[in-house]
Structure 1
Amino acid sequence: MKTISLSICSCILLTTVAFAQKLNTLTSKEKKDGWELLFDGKSTDGWHTYHTDKASNAWSVQDGALVFNPAADKSERGDLVTDKEYENYDLTYEWKISDGGNSGVIFGVKEDAQYGATYETGIEMQVLDNINADDRHTPNHLAGSLYDLIGSAEVSKPKAVGEWNQARILYSGGQITLWLNGVKTAEVKKGSEEWNQLIANSKFHDWEGFAKYDKGKIALQDHGDVVAYRNIKIKQL
């Protein structure tokens, strides 16, 4: 009797854990709180390659994740962006990078013919293999950094290559706050004295469109390396 009871309890526990960890879904509480899925885990619905009308074959869904394949034909390459624009939101997602890999989530992207790339207007939260990527030597280029603006080795603590990382971007009223695996990695307000100094000291100092748009699309970057994203959720504030 005891053995049977323990077995039943174990099954219930495993089932509960499995349900709690189900990918690319919203809990009842999340739905009530206003969270939305940006990726359904099955298709590229809601996304398209920058300056095209659909998601190219370089981006595919594999095991419940959006995966970029750098071996794809050049005509298929490019950043994946949301169909919709967003302003004032809490964005959470998970990412996994390949050995030596580099990518990023770029937000506040203006998709307009005058801009040839998402990073010309959007601000990036860096995705990086801190051990082997070429960009690992620059502190504000490390994983979780506000790319080329704010970052340090002390707070950049990504998991090992092949493991999933949890990231969060809180973007509201010009205030930007980033977290990687529960650790705050950057915080600044657009237009502040600190922000202006950061821009002046960055590669973006003479980019006319950079960080100009509070409302914009969200992009997953094609940086030429295999990268995967999942559990992409947004709550508009």
Structure 2
Amino acid sequence: MKTIKNLLFSCISMSVMLISCNQKTAEPNTLSDKEQAEGWVLLFDGKSLDRWHVYNQTENNPAWVIKDGAIYCDPNNQSNKGDLVSNESYQNYEFQFDWKLEKEGNSGIFINVQEKPGIDATWQSGPEYQLLEDSHADFAIPQKKAGCLYTFLPQQNFVNTKSKGEWNRSKIIQKDGKVTFMLNDKITAEMDFNSDKWKNMVQQSHFKDFPEFGKNTSGKIALQDWSRGVSFRNLKIKTR
């Protein structure tokens, strides 16, 4: 009987240890031992914006703040705003991030952004991973739902965003110009930025007036400033 009790005690202790380990690795803005071994890098540690800056500016804008361990764009800040861009450029990578919006919120992630004085905004060069709260009026437009390649493709697989206040998890994978968007573990868009299909789509859109738009398969990542509050955390990247 004593042996059985000892065995049960050992099993319970092991379970508690496993739960503790899982809780530790689940803390936001951290990397697990496995992620570190796989080459993941944090782009936000929950404390500073050292890896980011406002597009075409040398200093960060006060509209972008750190709030409750997340990057938050304050919609009530009336300062001259701008999108937040990564300090580094990326080509072949897997980028993962959590996000949430306030009611009727709208934002986005731009990829392959070219930061140059002659390009006035991130969206003039970088295609957009759409972020949209389901209560927003644009939710009725197929090419503007969350996870879309904004204005170009409807969701490949329908995905609702999480309830207000809950975090969504997104992933962007790019390899040799072929990109995959994922939202809450479902693929929402796929495109080859080197393909004639993409080039034709751009030429038939209003982006045709911006010579750098969609022409690049490497560049910076940008978080869009918008009129409603948006929060980001767990921003991590693994280059290939």
TM-score calculated relative to the size of structure 1: 0.91
2:106 to 90, 96, 102: 102
3-state SS of 1:105 partner:
strand
1:113-124 alignment runs, 5 A limit = 113-124=117-128
- Number of aligned residue pairs: give it: 234
Give the letter aligned to residue 101 of structure 1.
Answer: G
Q: CA RMSD in A?
A: 2.1
> Bigger shift: 98-107 or 17-26?
17-26
1:53 maps onto 2:58 in alignment: yes
Query: Which residue of the other structure, out of 90, 94, 97, is the alignment partner of 1:93?
Result: 97
Amino acid at match of 1:222: D
Match of 2:131 among 127, 131, 139: 127
Check whether the contact 2:178–2:190 (CA below 8 A) recurs between aligned residues. yes
Which one of 181, 194, 197 corresponds to residue 194 of structure 1? 197
Q: Which structure 2 residues correspond to residues 165-204 of structure 1 after superposition, within 5 A?
A: 165-204=168-207
Sequence identity percentage: 37
Q: Could you tell me how far apart the structure 1 residues matched to 2:225 and 2:97 are?
A: 17
Secondary structure of 1:53's counterpart equals coil
Q: Which letter does structure 1 place at the counterpart of 2:215?
A: K
1:78 aligns with 2:82: yes
Unpaired runs of at least 5, structure 1: none
How far 1:33 sits from its partner (Å)? 1.4
Are residue 64 (structure 1) and residue 57 (structure 2) matched?
Answer: no
Deviation at 1:14, TM superposition (A): 4.7
C-alpha displacement of 1:137:
2.3
- The residue that corresponds to 2:228 in the other structure is 225
Aligned-residue offset at 1:11:
5.2
Q: Distance in 2 between matches of 1:7 and 1:186?
A: 44
Shift of 1:37: 0.7
Q: Secondary structure in 2 aligned to 1:39?
A: coil
CA distance in 2, matches of 1:134, 1:15: 42
Structure 2 unaligned regions, length at least 5: none
Q: In the alignment, is residue 33 of structure 1 matched against residue 28 of structure 2?
A: no
1:160 counterpart residue number: 163
Helix, strand or coil at the partner of 2:232: strand
